[in-house]
Amino acid sequence: MINAKPTLRSTLHALLYLAPLLLITATFTIWPVINSFLMSCYTKYNYFTDHVGALGGADFVYLWHDPDFHLAVRNTLILVGGVVPLTVLLALGAALLLNRINWLAGFFQALYFLPFVTSTVALALVWNWIFHRDNGLLNLLLSWLGIAPIDWLNDPRYSLLALIIVCIWRGLGFSVILFLAGLNNIDQRYYQAASIDGASSGQILRQITLPLLTPTTVLITINAIIANFKVFDQVYALFHGSAGPANADLTMMYYLYQKFYIEHQYPVAAASGVILFGLIVSLTALSFWYFHRRSLRLGGGR
Amino acid sequence: MKRLRQLLLLGLCLLTTATLLSACVNHQKSSANPRVTVTFWHGMTGANKTTLNKLIHDFNQSQTKYKVVGRSQGNFSNLQQKITAAAKSKTLPTIAQTTYTNVPDYVAGGFVTSFDPYLSQSTLSDIYPAFLQANKYHGKYYTLPFSKSARVLFYNQDLLKQEGLSLPQTWGDIQKMGPALKAKGLTTMVFDQSYDAELDGLVAQSGGHLYPLNGKVTLDHKQTVAATHVIWDMLQNKTATTAGNDGYGSTKFFAGKTLFYSGSSAGISVMQASTPKGMHWATAPLPSYHGKQATAISCNDIALFKSASTAQRKGGAAFVKFLMRKKQTIYWAEKTGYVPLVKSAQKNKGYHQYLAKNPTAKAAVGSLDFGFQDATFPGYYQSRLALLKTIDAMTTEQVSPEKALSHLQTQMTKIIKAAQ
């Protein structure tokens, strides 16, 4: 059956089975995407009556000249550039350590995973306390190192760093679990052969673990890029519905929210969504290309 | 097993019959006394929701024509998002709580209708003009006032007594206290995260307008810049501060080293509940500037939607008028901390007794005679966001009022032009 040649009848049959999911995807994913693309080209648009007065690229021109949008792109790129590599490195480190211990491994896995399933409001409350200038835990720890208190959430120089820390903490657990799954998939015979050959643990890590973890690393990197390009709720909750001091934490997603829900500039919001979409697609493609080239260079390839 | 299945089947049959019968009875009942259902979306939660439900219940009991069904949509932000989505999908309720500032968008969207056909002069004569002026857009009442609060001055009675100071009457008095208090490690005043409401009041007191009036932006006028300097200078010389990421200035006020806090009267009950042990505070109207008093009023109104049938609109208007009546608005004010909507409440014996028992509520009510709300206009929310960003830049990046307001003047002028 599996190897049978596809016919029109069998294709229709398969489509019938796929229809419910395709219908849901088309209604809730594809149609909104098409609609946002269309809306980004409306220049005189009444959102409620759906009346389009004119079409054109004025919304993109607006974004091109809007300093707030430039700031949002800059902040988002810094955020992604800061969070993604650190999340991958820290998650890999944590997964390698967790993989070595048997005792309490489950407990630590659950501990790492907790931030991922905690509500954003709860995490904002906790992090508001950690980052508090006068009574915060972080400043207490820094004071032991002789560092003067930092106003993490009110000083525009530090508030983006605060957001980066929260985003890393939030996404770490999920990445650790994925890395652990990747590590478990590596055939133990490679390690046995390496130890017979007398390879050091550093060599084993560089020559066996890391190359064989490449597919998982790609998955985690792509996942982290997408998730961090779309950061919104952490900003909203951490800064009580604002984009941080002096807009220092204005991300592209937050900009979109402001334009849509606060300023009611619906086509501009749609245009910013289109640019966000383009950026995510480009960076995802770039990462794919990089990892593909790297695995080819290592002699692997898929 | 077979017997059990038979029993379950019998139970199911009985349940279905009972449900069908009760539905028929209900239908008969409702057809015997048809009431028009008026749906009302609001953003009230907790104790305020209970009070509102009581008022809805009272209205439903008071007449036989309409039945108001209230539905809380969570917080105000959720409520606004829900209204936007419902307007798009044409599933709006009859009436909803919203702010009058949304009216230009609603009118442009063509889904709001005015209360005018259901209003008489006598209905409105007792309502504070400050509310009604703002409710009027293009000569029509698209919204009517509902939950209103005023900015008031909270003061630490213990600190004021300790420092031998009397209650400031003018903003100048507050400015003068600053240096001496700072030398003792005390802060004179704390504002919320943004001081837009206080600035709005100060600019109004100086005879200007923080928001455009009749399409004219006057932010770079001398008096507006001077009014902005009142707060900015205090922030610069560190005699005043803002709440920053705490959101509300009450947190810093309760730390016990700040004499005054300018905040909303809607927060009084929350503040009473979280006052540190042994601390005593009271409220007063905000001080005057240039010999004039003007206090910004904020909070919510109720809008009537076009999608409702004529009977529903009548019912919605009847309910809103019921809420604005003296008895109901006093009950609402006493239970929630919002201010009463009618002037005659100030002469009401029962309300006087309430104020005597709750002196912190006096300042807000006393401020209503000189309270004001800015007129709304197309592009209001864009202008407001630009204003909030400017205030933030003046606070966190120490941008001077001259530079910040000049930039905002250009921005707002552009926004107004584009929105027309």
Residue B388 maps to a domain: yes
Which value, to the nearest 10 degrees, does the dihedral of the CA atoms of residues A69, A74, A77, A83 take? Answer: -110
Range of the domain at B388: 149-297+376-419
What is the predicted pLDDT for the residue at B16?
Answer: 56
Distance between CA atoms of residues B402 and B222, nearest Å? 9
Contact A263 B381 (CB under 8 A): yes
* B287/B174 Cα distance (integer angstroms): 9
- Model ipTM value: 0.84
Nearest chain A residue (CA) to B87? A48
- Among A49, A240, A262, select the one facing B245 at the smallest CB separation: A240
Q: Are residues B44 and B135 in the same domain?
A: yes
Residue B329 in contact with residue B323, Cβ under 8 Å? yes
- pLDDT at position B11 is 62
A293 touches B: beta carbon within 8 Å: no
Contacts of B7 (CB under 8 A, 6+ apart): none
**How close does chain B come to A46, measured CA to CA in Å?**
7
Contacts of B84 in chain A (CB under 8 A): 261
**Are A240 and B247 an interchain contact pair (Cβ–Cβ within 8 Å)?**
yes
CB contact under 8 A, A49 and B87: no
Joined together, the tokens standing for residue B382 give: 């864009």
| Structural contact between residues A71 and A156, judged by C-beta atoms closer than 8 angstroms | no
Report in angstroms the alpha-carbon separations of A233 from A162, A238, B289.
Answer: 14, 8, 41
pLDDT digits (tens, 9 = 90+) for A220-273: 999 999 999 999 999 999 998 889 999 999 999 999 999 999 999 999 999 999
- Minimum-distance CB partner of A245 among B247, B381, B392: B392
| Tally of domains in chain B | 2
Same domain? For B274 and B188 the reply is yes
Confidence at residue B24, expressed as pLDDT on a 0 to 100 scale: 47
Closest-CA residue of chain B to A155: B396
Residue at B61 is within a domain: yes
Tell whether B286 is covered by a domain.
Answer: yes
- At B146, which helix (H) or strand (E)? strand B143-156
∠ CA A212-A213-A215, rounded to 5°: 100
**Most distant CA atoms of chain B, gap in Å:** 91
The bridge status of strand B240-242 relative to strand B136-137 is: unpaired
B395 and B292 housed in the same domain: yes
Give the CA dihedral B233, B239, B243, B249, nearest 10 degrees: -120
Instruction: Find chain B residues with C-beta within 8 A of A48's C-beta.
Output: 87-88, 108-111
User: Is residue B291 domain-shared with residue B392, that is, in the same domain?
Assistant: yes
> What CATH code is assigned to A58-297?
1.10.3720.10
Provide the token pair at B188. 């004179």
Amino acid A288: pLDDT: 83
In a domain? residue B11: no
- B84 and A261 in contact by Cβ < 8 A? yes
Chain B contacts of A235, Cβ < 8 Å? none
Do the Cβ atoms of B109 and A264 come within 8 Å? no
Tell me which residue in A48, A241, A258 faces B111 most closely, judged by beta carbons. Answer: A48
Residue B19 pLDDT: 53
Q: Are B163 and B155 in contact (CB under 8 A)?
A: no
CB atoms within 10 A of CB B96: 29
Structural domain boundaries of chain A?
Answer: 58-297
pLDDT at position B9: 59
Residue B214 gets the label, from left (phi > 0), alpha (psi -120 to 50) or beta, of left
* C-alpha span between A220 and B218 (Å, rounded): 53
Among B305, B396, B398, pick the best mutation site for testing chain A contact (most A Cβ within 10 A): B396
Across the interface, do B397 and A247 touch by the CB < 8 Å criterion? no
Residues from chain B contacting residue A49 (CB–CB below 8 Å) = 109-110
**Window A:227-246, CB contacts with B under 8 Å:** 239-242, 245-246
B302: three-class secondary structure by DSSP: strand
Pair B280, B407 in one domain: yes
| Residue B81 with chain A: CB contacts under 8 Å | 261
Do B109 and A47 count as a contact with CB atoms less than 8 A apart? yes
Q: Same structural domain for residues B58 and B102?
A: yes
Which of A43, A264, A265 best probes binding to B when mutated, by most B CB atoms within 10 angstroms?
A: A264
pLDDT by 10s per residue, chain A, length 302: 566 788 899 899 999 999 999 999 999 999 999 999 999 999 889 999 989 988 999 999 999 999 999 999 999 999 999 999 999 999 999 999 888 887 777 888 888 888 888 888 888 889 999 999 888 999 999 999 999 999 999 999 999 999 999 999 998 989 999 999 999 999 999 999 998 999 898 899 998 999 899 889 999 999 999 999 999 999 999 998 889 999 999 999 999 999 999 999 999 999 999 999 999 999 889 988 888 887 777 655 44
Number of H helices, E strands in chain B: 18, 13
Examine the domain organization and report whether B257 and B404 are in the same domain.
Answer: yes
B334 and B382 both lie in a single domain: no
Q: Which residues of B touch A (CB under 8 A)?
A: 77, 80-81, 84, 87-88, 105, 108-111, 193, 244-245, 247, 381-382, 385, 389, 392-393, 396-397
Position A116 scores a pLDDT of 82
**Segments in chain B below pLDDT 50:** 1, 24-30
Query: Is B85 found in the same domain as B138?
Result: yes
Q: Contacts of residue A247 in chain B, CB cutoff 8 Å?
A: 389, 392
Q: B243 to chain A: nearest residue by CA?
A: A154
Q: Among all residues of chain B, which has the CA nearest to that of A62? A: B418
Cβ pair B72, B49 in contact under 8 A: yes
**B218 & B163 share domain:** yes
Q: Sign (positive/negative) of CA torsion A63, A68, A70, A76? A: negative
Q: How far apart are CA B35 and CA B29, in angstroms?
A: 11
A258 in reach of chain B (CB within 8 A): yes
Host H or E run for residue B314: helix B310-324
Query: Is residue B3 assigned to a domain?
Result: no
Q: Which of A66, A154, A166 is the best residue to mutate to test the B interface, defined by the most B CB atoms within 10 Å of its own CB?
A: A154
Give yes or no for A151 touching B (CB within 8 A). yes
Helix (H, G, I), strand (E, B) or coil at B183: helix
One domain, residues B201 and B340: no
Please report residues of A whose CB lies closer than 8 A to that of B87.
Answer: 48
CB atoms under 10 Å from CB of A242, counted, come to 21
Give SS3 for B43. coil
Count of A-B CB contacts under 8 Å: 53
Q: Which of B77, B247, B393 sits opposite A246 (nearest CB)?
A: B393
Q: Tell me, what CATH number does B120's domain have?
A: 3.40.190.10
- What is the least distance, in Å, from the CA of B404 to any CA of chain A? 13
pLDDT the model gives residue B30: 47
Same domain for B153 and B224, yes or no, is yes
Closest alpha carbon within chain B to A262: B381
Interface residue A43 vs chain B (CB under 8 A):
no
- Please say whether the dihedral angle defined by the alpha carbons of residues A195, A198, A202 and A207, taken in this order, is positive or negative: negative
